[in-house]
């Protein structure tokens, strides 16, 4: 069973870490923790389509809670998809063998102007309903996390119609029609704020913005286009719940990312957490950042990397996570080992002298 901090529950442990406070152990969860590496998830997916699971509260609740039952993770993230708001804004969403697609991509000013600012309870009410049910099932001591795509990342899918290497069409749009592209990002932000507020009202303890593709931008373009839209969202929900901002491939952007308004920066495995702490200081908490591929390795390696990651920040303002989503081929026992190692590890600065090296 997972180790529980004696004086505080999981939710308070998580929120203290979000505030940058020292904790007796780090809270730990995994991006994509509800997914294909779990046999119980595969059983449900054999009977139900991906979007059907997202849009059916009973199914979404079940797959959201599976990692808590199996692994004892410290936070439960609601099962959904970052493209749900794109569909609610008026873009048809299809899911085939090649992944999700938006067959009517946004390519012109007229396309941008047609995008709707939707009512999250009427258009995407299945999501807050799932959150309410998760909270009722788990009780008040377990943090439930909500999420959305950051505007740049969602814009990449909206313009390309799917994931695309380099996002050439998106960048072409940005450079040829910068004013229109800023309007696209602004509209996404305007739609995302009430979408996240609905999740917060339903009971999430924190929300995460996924900016998976921000690393495709250089620093100047990130600061001129992507960053203001993230700041708009952070300002729009400020004080309601902590904001975790995940950026991938963003080492060249971190000085700007730190100005996003997020309470927690979640980073991938390519960067050193201690170096980021030295660069950004203690005012912003950090999440991550074990390479997901490490969980394909032997137990000794998993324990070593996990402990080293924890020690790099000495437990101050740190939420232990992977540097990206867990890989589908990860053995369940290795995921379990990662979670247990994180929960059982003492901070380096409070470890008994006899155990220190």
**Quick check: is 32 catalytic?**
yes
Cα(136)–Cα(130) distance, rounded to whole angstroms?
10
Percent of the chain exceeding pLDDT 70 equals 94
Query: 97 pLDDT band (50/70/90 cuts)?
Result: low
For 52-72, what is each residue's pLDDT tens digit?
999 999 999 999 999 999 999
- Is residue 36 part of the annotated active site? The answer reads yes
Of these residues, 25, 41, 81, 195, which one is catalytic?
A: 81
Active site residue 25: no
pLDDT in the model for residue 98: 66
Q: Which of 45, 107, 182, 351 is catalytic?
A: 45
Spatial distance between the Cα atoms of 20 and 99, rounded to a whole number of angstroms? 37
pLDDT given for residue 1 in this prediction = 42
Q: Calculate the average pLDDT of the chain.
A: 93
The domains of the chain are located at 36-291
CA dihedral 188, 155, 89, 134 (to 10 degrees): -80
- Would residue 72 be called left, alpha or beta, if left means φ above 0 and alpha means ψ between -120 and 50 degrees? left
Please provide residue 306's backbone torsions phi and psi, each rounded to the nearest 5 degrees. -65, -45
**Maximum CA pair distance of the chain?**
68
Q: Given 3.10.110.10, 3.20.20.70, 3.20.20.210, 1.10.10.410, which CATH number is that of 36-291?
A: 3.20.20.210
Q: Which of 37, 157, 195, 222 is catalytic?
A: 157
pLDDT of 348 > 70? The answer is: no
Active site residue 157: yes
Give me the pLDDT at residue 44, please. 97
Say whether 74 sits in a helix, a strand or coil: coil
245 tagged catalytic = no
């Amino acid at each position: 069973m997972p180790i529980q901090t004696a004086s505080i529950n999981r939710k308070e442990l998580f929120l203290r870490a979000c505030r940058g406070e020292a904790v007796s152990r780090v809270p730990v969860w995994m991006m994509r923790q509800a997914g294909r590496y779990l046999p119980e998830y595969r059983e449900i997916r054999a009977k139900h389509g991906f979007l059907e699971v997202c849009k059916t509260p009973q199914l979404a609740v079940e797959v959201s809670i599976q990692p808590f039952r199996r692994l004892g993770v410290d936070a439960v993230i609601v099962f959904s998809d970052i493209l749900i708001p794109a569909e609610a804004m008026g873009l048809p969403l299809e899911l085939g063998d090649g992944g999700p697609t938006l067959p009517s991509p946004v390519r012109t000013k007229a396309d941008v102007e047609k995008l709707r600012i939707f009512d999250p309870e009427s258009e995407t009410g299945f999501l807050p309903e799932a959150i309410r049910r998760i909270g009722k099932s788990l009780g008040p001591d377990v943090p439930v996390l909500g999420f959305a795509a950051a505007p740049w990342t969602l814009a990449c899918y909206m313009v390309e119609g799917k994931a695309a290497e380099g996002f050439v069409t998106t960048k072409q749009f940005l450079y040829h029609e910068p004013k229109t592209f800023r309007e696209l990002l602004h509209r996404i932000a305007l739609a995302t704020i009430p979408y996240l507020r609905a999740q917060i009202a339903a009971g999430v303890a924190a929300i995460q913005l996924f900016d998976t593709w921000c690393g495709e931008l250089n620093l100047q373009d990130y600061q001129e286009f992507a960053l203001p839209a993230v700041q708009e969202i952070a300002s729009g929900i400020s004080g309601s719940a902590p904001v975790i901002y995940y950026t991938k491939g963003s080492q060249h952007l971190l000085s700007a990312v730190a100005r996003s308004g997020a309470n927690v920066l979640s980073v991938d495995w390519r960067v050193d957490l201690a170096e980021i702490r030295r660069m950004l200081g203690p005012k912003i908490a950090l999440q991550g950042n074990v390479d997901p591929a490490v969980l394909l390795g032997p137990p000794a390696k998993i324990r070593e990397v996990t402990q080293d990651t924890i020690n790099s920040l000495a437990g101050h303002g740190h939420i232990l996570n992977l540097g990206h989503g867990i890989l589908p081929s990860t053995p369940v026992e290795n995921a379990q080992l990662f979670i247990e190692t994180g929960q059982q590890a003492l901070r380096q600065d409070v470890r008994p002298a006899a155990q220190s090296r």
